Amino acid sequence: VKIGAGSVNGSVTVEGATSEVKVGTVNGSVEATSSGGPVEASTVNGSVFARMGRLTGAEDLNYSTVNGSIQVEFDGELTDADLEMSTVNGRFETNFPITIQGRLNPRHLRTRLGNGGRRIRLTTVNGNVELRKRG
């Protein structure tokens, strides 16, 4: 069962899901966890935390906020993806092995994991951006 949840003024939390999750709010943090599907999460004023296990499909994954940090964790394998991370006032952090070619931009990071594939986009203005591999 796919899960979709949203709010305007308040935080949104989804835990224990086993399939695709899409959550969002305007004023509040977003936290979503799924053991069996992709998670997408967004807010305007608040932090974003997303954790997922096995990924199915090849659709793009987006995580965004304006005022807050973003942390995305993968429990399963993430071997082939095109990664895009951006922040204006914050830093990037990842424990995935990445290669950067060309000029290093402190506000925008674009790289390829493995052979590339689905696009994973993490975007904020005021906050840190983290991509983590668990396990």
| Closest by Cα among 54, 50, 56 to 69 | 50
**What is the DSSP annotation of the chain?**
--EEEE-SBS-EEEEEE-S-EEEE-SBS-EEEEESSS-EEEE-SBS-EEEEESS--S---EEEE-SBS-EEEEESS---SEEEEEE-SBS-EEE-S-----S--BTTEEEEEETT--EEEEEE-SBS-EEEEE--
The predicted model scores a pTM of 0.91
SS3 121: strand
Name the DSSP class of 23.
Answer: E
- Please write the tens of the pLDDT for every residue from 40-82: 999 999 999 999 987 777 789 999 999 999 999 988 677 788 9
- Please write the tens of the pLDDT for every residue from 88-128: 999 999 988 887 777 888 899 998 888 888 999 999 999 99
Name the DSSP class of 59.
Answer: -
What pLDDT is recorded for position 77? 73
